[in-house]
């Protein structure tokens, strides 16, 4: 398990929960691990750290990967908890240390509070929408309140797996080998033939009824409509996604069922996400792609050319290379539009995306819109001192024809700074120089930085006033009565 040298690992509540799930008491587990009951009790109460030998023995006895005890999930949960409790409606200011303590020792309580806050936010937005649309809003509210946000559930599912789904990678790699993908014959032609021979599906290069969908399948006529404006790489990706839905149905169903999602909509979104994952793994088989990424020092454009896919597709695939034994650089992946809306976010690192409120405007992903098509880099430092290396560039969808609508996004790929030397984009950058780092945060509402000229609003528990000399905002703390001190 990758960690900073000398950093101690504590089991916290995770080992107690794991032991309970296996129906073991402390005496039984201690006997299986070959340690004393008192030693196990100290480990479970975070009085003793996990040694390497005990960690490996726990992994063997309880059937978990050593990564199970990584603090990344706890840190992410603590960030979500602090954001939820720092909402204006709560009037509560919780320090990061307090949030970490709750997430570490009482993770179920922390998750429940975050879920309740999500429900509150959803309900508030629904009330506002109904109030502006109808005078009968209160009567309609009872049937209109949404359940937990499906997109967040699906994102949490992928995050819990470090954005790596081993069964799909394995199935896709075997399929790519069996079908001869990567040979002289174009991949899209191989996949089109596969659909015709094994599923009696005919591919039509035209969207039905002027639809804007890139792909639409008519199960009755066995026609698969693809937009005629797709690039060769995107066409192959859509064909591969349809093959996943037709051939990997039982596997997709098993993975979705195991995810424990709370709504049919979340399950449907997860199924689509898993089918897309299979498509990416089919076009970029794990072993070959991971080897090429290391060989080319993670040069995204060279990987584009080698595998015949787009910039965004390569970035997304790079964020999934966390297979046991052949791990790539653990990346976080993000896609945003100019307004700051996040349409994709996946992470194999402990970087915590803001769920609530806007992201930091100093983040290079937003600067990418000012330099379309250029690859920008950034060393970014979070308020807790952790530093990351980011690569960002714009991508464009649509736009064929003068009147055709165009969609522009910025995609970003980031890793912890200790991995940056493996990337071609870090060449010539003073990675160890603190002055090269840009201080960023998770959004002004929960950011702890007090000296940021870009701050748009006060942090939780503070107010802002204008400093006429610096021509910027400075925060003033307030006491419980709301009076500034």
Over residues 421-475, the pLDDT tens digits come to: 999 999 999 998 988 899 988 777 667 787 888 887 766 545 444 444 544 444 4
**Residue 376 bridge partners (DSSP):** 392
Residue 366 and residue 454: Cα distance in Å, rounded?
13
Residue 449 and residue 458: Cα distance in Å, rounded?
10
CATH 1.10.260.40 for domain 149-283 = no
pLDDT at 87: 64
Contact 265, 251 (CB under 8 A): no
Contact 96, 384 (CB under 8 A): yes
DSSP sequence for 91-115:
T----HHHHHHHHHH-HHHHHHHHH
Mean pLDDT comparison of 19-28, 39-48, 53-62, 191-200, highest-scoring range: 191-200
Number of Cβ atoms within 10 Å of the Cβ of 476: 12
CB environment 88-116: b (16+ within 10 A), e (fewer): eeeeebbebeebbebbbeebeebeebbbe
Q: Among candidates 310, 317, 311, 312, which has minimal Cα distance to 287?
A: 317
Q: Is the pLDDT of residue 12 over 50?
A: yes
Over residues 163-173, the pLDDT tens digits come to: 899 999 999 99
Average pLDDT of the chain is: 81
Q: Which residue has the higher pLDDT, 189 or 63?
A: 189
Q: Is the pLDDT of residue 246 over 90?
A: yes
How far are the Cα atoms of 45, 112, 297, 324, 348 from residue 14, in angstroms, in the given order? 10, 17, 36, 21, 20
> Which residue ranges make up each domain of the chain?
13-70, 73-146, 149-283, 287-449, 452-485
Residues 6+ apart with CB under 8 A from 203: 192, 195, 196, 224, 226, 239
CATH superfamily of 13-70: lambda repressor-like DNA-binding domains (1.10.260.40)
**pLDDT average, residue stretch 95-99:** 76
Q: Among candidates 72, 2, 1, 60, which has minimal Cα distance to 32?
A: 60
Q: How confident is the model at residue 212 (pLDDT cuts 50, 70, 90)?
A: low
Q: Which residue has the higher pLDDT, 289 or 53?
A: 289
**pLDDT average, residue stretch 217-244:** 93
Q: How confident is the model at residue 130 (pLDDT cuts 50, 70, 90)?
A: low
Q: How confident is the model at residue 66 (pLDDT cuts 50, 70, 90)?
A: low
pLDDT at 144: 44
Q: Among candidates 263, 282, 286, 285, which has minimal Cα distance to 274?
A: 282
**pLDDT average, residue stretch 14-32:** 85
Contact 294, 394 (CB under 8 A): no
Question: Token pair of 107, please?
Answer: 């993770």
pLDDT at 217: 93
pLDDT at 273: 94
Question: Token pair of 280, please?
Answer: 């990416």
Q: What is the dihedral of CA 19, 24, 28, 32, to 10 degrees?
A: -50
The SS3 of residue 471 is: coil
Question: Token pair of 202, please?
Answer: 């005919």
DSSP sequence for 244-269:
HHHHSHHHHHHHHHHHT-SSHHHHHH
pLDDT at 331: 94
DSSP state of 1: -
Contact 119, 153 (CB under 8 A): no
Sign of CA dihedral 135, 140, 141, 144: negative
Over residues 327-386, the pLDDT tens digits come to: 999 999 999 999 888 888 887 666 666 654 457 889 999 999 999 999 999 999 988 888
């Amino acid at each position: 398990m990758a960690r900073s040298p000398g950093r101690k690992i504590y089991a916290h509540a995770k080992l107690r929960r794991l032991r309970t799930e296996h129906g073991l008491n402390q005496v039984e587990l201690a006997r299986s691990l070959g340690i004393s009951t008192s030693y196990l009790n100290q480990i479970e109460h975070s009085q003793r750290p996990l040694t390497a030998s005990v960690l490996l023995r726990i992994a063997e006895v309880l059937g978990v990967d050593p990564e199970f005890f990584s603090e990344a999930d706890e840190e992410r949960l603590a960030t979500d908890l602090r954001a939820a409790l720092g909402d204006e409606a709560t009037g509560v200011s919780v320090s990061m240390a307090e949030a970490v303590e709750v997430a570490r020792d009482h993770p179920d309580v922390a998750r429940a509070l975050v879920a309740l806050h999500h429900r509150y936010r959803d309900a508030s937005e629904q009330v506002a929408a109904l109030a502006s649309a109808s005078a009968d809003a209160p009567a309609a509210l009872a049937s209109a309140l949404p359940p937990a946000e499906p997109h967040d559930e699906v994102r949490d599912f992928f995050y819990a797996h470090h954005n790596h789904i081993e069964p799909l990678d394995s199935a896709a790699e075997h399929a790519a080998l069996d079908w001869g993908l990567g040979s002289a014959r174009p991949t899209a032609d191989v996949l089109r033939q596969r659909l015709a021979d094994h599923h009696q599906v005919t591919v039509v290069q035209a969207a039905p009824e002027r639809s804007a969908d890139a792909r639409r399948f008519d199960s009755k006529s066995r026609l698969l409509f693809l937009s005629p404006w797709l690039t060769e790489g995107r066409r192959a990706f859509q064909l591969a996604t349809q093959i996943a839905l037709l051939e990997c149905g039982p596997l997709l169903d098993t993975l979705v069922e195991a995810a424990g999602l709370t709504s049919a909509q979340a399950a449907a979104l997860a199924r689509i996400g898993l089918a897309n994952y299979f498509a990416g793994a089919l076009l970029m088989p794990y072993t070959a792609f991971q080897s090429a990424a290391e060989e080319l020092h993670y040069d995204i454009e060279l990987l584009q050319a080698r595998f015949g896919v787009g910039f965004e597709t390569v970035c997304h695939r790079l964020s999934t290379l966390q297979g046991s034994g052949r791990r790539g650089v653990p990346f976080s992946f993000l896609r945003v539009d100019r307004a700051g809306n996040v349409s994709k976010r996946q992470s194999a690192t402990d970087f915590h995306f803001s769920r609530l409120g806007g992201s930091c405007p100093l983040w290079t992903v937003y600067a990418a819109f000012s330099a379309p098509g250029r690859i920008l880099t950034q060393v970014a430092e979070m308020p807790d001192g952790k530093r990351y290396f980011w690569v960002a560039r714009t991508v464009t969808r649509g736009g064929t024809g003068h009147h055709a609508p165009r969609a522009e996004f910025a995609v970003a790929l980031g890793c912890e700074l200790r991995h940056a030397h493996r990337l071609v984009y870090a060449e010539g950058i003073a990675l160890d120089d603190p002055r090269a780092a840009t201080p960023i945060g998770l959004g002004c509402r929960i950011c702890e930085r007090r000296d940021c000229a870009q701050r748009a609003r006060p942090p939780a528990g503070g107010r802002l006033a204008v400093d006429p000399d610096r021509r910027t905002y400075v925060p003033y703390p307030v006491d419980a009565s709301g009076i500034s001190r």
